Amino acid sequence: MKIDILTIFPEMFDGFLNTSIIKRAIQQKFVNIEIHDIRKYSKDPHKRVDDYSFGGGHGMVLMPQPIFDAVDDLKKENTKVILMTPQGIPYKQKMAYDLSLEKHIIIICGHYEGFDERIRSLADIEISIGDYVLTGGELASMVVTDSVVRLIDGVIEKESHINDSFNNNLLDYPVYTKPVNFRGMKVPDVLLSGHHANIKKFREDEAYKKTKERRPDLLEDGGRNE
Ligand code: 6GU
């Protein structure tokens, strides 16, 4: 998979691309991630990428020209163009799975007080990662990239994400490691029993209980973009 990210803050991605599973996925060529500085595409003599809002109003607005030129330059036949904005559709695990099957994704990070409305016409999907406002789409684009890359076949063991929270609309069951007794808090006996059917039943029950208690909306099937 190829992921092209358009941003005015390329340096924000340094740590993300050079750490842990994402770094390894890049090294092992499961994914090729390129960060593109929108400024590079600006035709303004001062390389400006934003300007005042027509009609007045607070803050600067990202101009269409650099972003349109960048997308024209990078877009191929099977490209999905994603625009990160708090006004987008709420991001869910189902969408991460769908995106993990794509060949090429371009992610546009919105910034400042906003972006020119015409930029929306470039996007196949507009995504929001939650009901709060970030200073820009960069962190949100990393959230999407991280959740997609870990699902690409081969990046992590299948068993590691088959039981992820949100699969089957359930939160994860609890897990424990050594020691059996830590400060008086004990590992449930059933997990030490070696009885696989009972362990499976325990985990299913705990996942259901936790979901019912914390996220009843998931059980009502409201937690997926289906
Ligand atoms: Cl995608 N962008 C910004 N700026 N804020 C957000 C968001 C995106 N998703 C939630 N808040």
Extract the tokens encoding 31: 């994914």
- Ligand 1 mutation pick, 85, 107, 142, max ligand atoms within 8 A of CB: 85
Phi/psi at 7 (5° precision): -150, 155
Residue pLDDT, tens place only, 40-79: 999 999 999 999 999 998 889 999 999 999 999 999 999 9
C-alpha dihedral (95, 128, 65, 75), degrees to nearest 10: -10
Give the distance (Å) from ligand 1 centre to CA of residue 164: 24
The single residue listed with the structure tokens 């808090």 is: 185
The rounded radius of gyration (Å) of the Cα atoms in the chain is: 21
The CA 173 to ligand 1 mean position distance, Å, reads 29
With beta carbons less than 8 A apart as the criterion, state whether 8 and 67 touch.
no
3-class SS shares of the chain: helix, strand, coil, % to 5: 40, 20, 40
**What is residue 44's predicted lDDT score, i.e. its pLDDT?**
96
**pLDDT level of residue 225 (50, 70, 90 thresholds):** very low
The predicted-structure confidence for 110-154, as pLDDT tens digits, reads as follows 886 799 999 999 999 999 999 999 999 999 999 999 999 999 999
What is the C-alpha to C-alpha distance for residues 199 and 189, in angstroms, rounded to an integer? 10
Q: Is 154 in the pocket of ligand 1 (CB under 6 A)?
A: no
- 84 CB near ligand 1 (under 6 Å): yes
Closest ligand 1 atom to the C-alpha of 130?
A: 10
The reported pLDDT for the residue numbered 113 is 75
Residues labelled catalytic: 86, 113, 150, 164
Residue whose Cα lies nearest atom 7 of ligand 1: it is 86
Does residue 130 line the site of ligand 1, with CB under 6 A? yes
126 ligand 1 Cβ < 6 A: no
Q: Is 130 exposed, middle or buried (0-12, 13-18, 19+ CB in 10 A)?
A: exposed
Beta strands in 53-170 (DSSP E): 60-62, 79-90, 104-109, 114-115, 125-128
| Average pLDDT estimate for 183-191 | 98
Per-residue pLDDT band at 195 (split at 50, 70, 90):
very high
Q: Give the chain's largest Cα–Cα span.
A: 71
**Amino acid type, 160:** S
- Domains of the chain, with CATH numbers? 2-149 (3.40.1280.10), 163-220 (1.10.1270.20)
Average pLDDT over every residue of 22-46: 98
- Starting at the earlier edge strand, list the strands of the sheet with 60-62: 50-52, 60-62, 114-115
Instruction: Report, as an integer, the average pLDDT of 12-26.
Output: 98
pLDDT tens-place string over residues 152-181: 999 999 877 877 878 788 999 999 999 999
Q: Please, which residues have CB within 8 angstroms of residue 129's CB and are 6 or more apart in sequence? A: 84, 90, 91, 140, 143, 144
The whole-number pLDDT of residue 159 equals 79
How far apart CA 215 and CA 120 sit, in angstroms, is 33
Which amino acid, one-letter code, is at 44?
Answer: D
- The answer to pTM > 0.85 is yes
Cβ of 49 less than 6 Å from ligand 1: no
Parallel/antiparallel/unpaired status of strands 104-109 and 79-90: parallel
Assess whether pLDDT exceeds 50 at residue 209: yes
